Each structure stands twice: as C-alpha cells, then as structure tokens.
Chains A and B, each alone.
Chain A
Amino acid sequence: MTGALLAVRQVNRTFGSGAAAVHALRDVSFDVEPGTMVALVGRSGSGKTTLLNVIGGLDRPDSGTVMVDGLEVTGLDEDGLSRLRRDKVSYVFQTFGLIPVLSAAENVGVPLRLARAEPRERERRVRLLLDLVGLGDHAEQRPGELSGGQQQRVAIARALAASPRLLVADEPTGQLDAETGLAVMGLLRGVVESEGVTAVVATHDPVMMALADRVIRIGDGRVEP
C-alpha cells in the first residue's frame, strides 16, 4: 500500500438529499500501483464517472480521502487542484475535447504551454508524442480534418504531454467504432508502458478489460469483490 500511486479510502459521495438522495459512492476504497492500468467497470449509473471525478479532483467526496502520488487530493484548494491537474493527473474524454481552431500539434502543446515549457522543449515533446500516437504526419491538421480515432489519439497525446503520473480516462472509446476503439485501447496500453504512467480507465469494453492489469468492478456505488 505504501507504494500505491493512487489510494482511495472510504470515499462517499451523495447527490441530492432526503428521499431523492442518490448515493453515487459508498465507502469506496482501493489502491493502484504505479505503472499499472486499471479498468473501472460497471453498469451505467454505477458510479464510475463520479469515482473518476473524485480521483482527478474534479469533484469532492462527502467523506473519505484520495491520495495521488502522496498528495491528498481531497484536502487541496482550487489552486492546488489546478496544480494537481497540470502536473500529476490528466484526462482523456469520450468526446476528445480538442480545440477546433488549433492544429493537432498545437492541441498537444496546450498542457505544455500551461506548464510554461520552453518553446523548443515543447515542440520536441509534441513531435515525440505525435509520433508515439502515430500522427506525426498529421501534426498541422485541425481536429475537423481528422477522423474520430485520430482525434482521440491526439487527445491521448495531449494527456501525456505534461508527463502526468496518473491518466484518467472515461469511456475513451465510447464514440469510436470497434476497430478504432481497439486501436486506441492498444495505444493506451502501449503508452502506459512506454511512459510509465498509471491509468484508470472507465469502460464497458471487454477488450479494454483484457488489456488492463487489473479490473475494479463498481456496482451501486460500491467496489464489488
């Protein structure tokens, strides 16, 4: 446990109150070792996304703690959370979330700009990541000129740009066809290994579960054994 990159302890999260209260997370606890890829699996409404939000500091639990790389996420203020997201945690969205007027390379460089990286270092890193995700020849293309799979690969490259310790992905293949989804999953698996990053991926995809080092099942807000 002491070597866990991610430690989730007794996390509870409830939306609403009274009879209408929805208990999204109930006493959720688990650890994730560095450099592993964890698949978070569960039916719709089981609490996967809420758990990812709490892990990434996008939402605060009602109780419990989340530690990322030794940092207690639940105790951070807004600036601390911003630093966490800039330095340690990054996200991959189902809807890619690229800036449409920027090229693929410029989109990948956004986290580096936020981290005030040197332009030369930024360009080098962007080139490296685009090559890593297989889009070295598409650097100057805008998101609208790329396919869905290519856009998601750009999003993954962007997520890796600032060398995060933890990659959080919520249904990253949700909008992709099976073949493209498989390729993206493979890419994620590959970058976890090559970049030494830890990944928590919410998914319904059995292929992803097969690629993951570990599968955590969520049901009715609880971690199922």
Chain B
Amino acid sequence: MNDKVYKALLLLTALFMPVICGGVVYALVTDAYDAFEHFGFFRFLTSSEWSYTQGAEKYGALPFITGTLMTTLLALIFCIPFSLPVALFVGEYFKGTRLAAVLGTVTDLLAGIPSIIYGLWGFYTLRPIIMALDISPQGSGVLTASLVLAIMIVPYAASLSAEFIKMVPNDLKEGAYSLGATRAEVVKSVIFPVAGSGIFSSYVLAIGRALGETMTVTMLIGNTNNIPDSITSTGNSMASIIANQFGEADDLRLSSLIAIGLVLFMITAVINMAGKMMIKRARI
C-alpha cells in the first residue's frame, strides 16, 4: 500500500515535466499563431523586413535567423582551437595528473560565470579593443558577440570532448605505439578517429548552447534589425531581438516575437536532441 502511494507520487511528479514542456509549446504556438496567419509561415521566415509603422506593419524573421546562425557558426569556429587542445590536455596528454584536474576545474568554472558578466567583459574590455584595432567603428557587432560566445561554449565542448578522448581504449593506443607511432600520430590516427563521433556530438551540444544565449549577445551584437552584411557589422539574433523588444511590443509585433521564439525553440530542441542521440551512439 505504502509502495503504491509512493509510486503514484513519483509518477505524478515525473509527469510534471512533460506537462510543463507541453504547456510552453502550447503557449508559444497559440501566441505566435497571429503572426504566422498574417504573414504565412514561410514568408515570415524568409522576409527581412521589420517595420512597425502603424497600419503598415511588416515583420520577418530572416535577419534574426541569419544573426543567430552567424554568431553561432563563428563562435563554433573560434571555440574549436581552444576547446580541442584543452580536451586533449585533460583527456590524453596530462590525463590523471593534478595539472589536468586543475585545468579541467578552471574550464568548468568558466561555465558557471553568469552570462551578464561575460556581457560586461565583452562590452567594456573586448569592444574597445575591437575599436582600437580598427576592426569596426562601433566595436559591437556579430564578431564581438561571437568571440565572447566562443569563450562561453569552450567549457561545454572541452569537458565533454575530454570524456570521449579518455574513453579511447588503451589497447588501441598501445597498439599504435607498438608500431612506432609518436604521440602526435596516435592522436591524429587513433584518438581523433575513434573519439570523433563523440567529439562531434559535444560540439553539437555546444552549438545548442550558443544558439539560445541571450544576454551576452544582446549586449554586444549592436541591435540593428538588418541582415548583417559582414561579420563586423551589427545585427540582432533571434534571442536578442526578443530581449530588446518584448517590453514595448503588443499585438502583431508581440506575436511575431513569440513566433521567433517558437522557431528558436524548435531549432535548439532539434540540435540538442541530435547531439544527445549522437552521444548515445558514440558511447556504444
């Protein structure tokens, strides 16, 4: 009897999660409905206009989708040359040493820094540098946002990749060494190929993080509603346009913002699920 009650309670609390998730999706869909109905689903996604003149309102998500994809892709590119060496350091070269433990912990610590702090650092430290280097006149923009975003996702990519690098069987590594391979050759020909799918999936999860990151991007991307024509120009990401405008928006504009939110939710959900599935497969 006691056991039954316990089981029922457990089930009830467990069911709570899918209910919340369903509720979020339901709210997003109903509130975004207006925008999709007014502009059409695909026209909304492919239109680059964002004007809220009374009577001639036109909203399209393309500049923000582009902004998000650009910042994410750039962040990924900037993140690889830092996270991969850290992963190799912790997972192979200094595996099990105190040095690796310290580096691993510090890297993980980076993941715990609130995004507003990264934003402040980017705004007051990195932005003046970008200006001083004459890379862009205003300092903020896609590049600045991506650089800080890259630092933010390094811990995710590095610590997960390190786990996969650690998992490469010793048999294989010793097999390669016994054939006269140097350590660099073992890394290139054995560790990377064998841990490859796992490393790839950790980058997919890092992308998932970068896609939805709001605060830092909002503070650094420049907040203009155009498609960025180069990596140094300003723009807006899907998350940053919502953060910028949700307070003052109503009716159709609010619905359009929520529609952007829905699209962002779908993209991140797909990316995260794909990443998790790949990790599962890589573990086998």
Binding between chains A and B? no
Interface set of A (CB-CB < 8 Å, partner B):
none
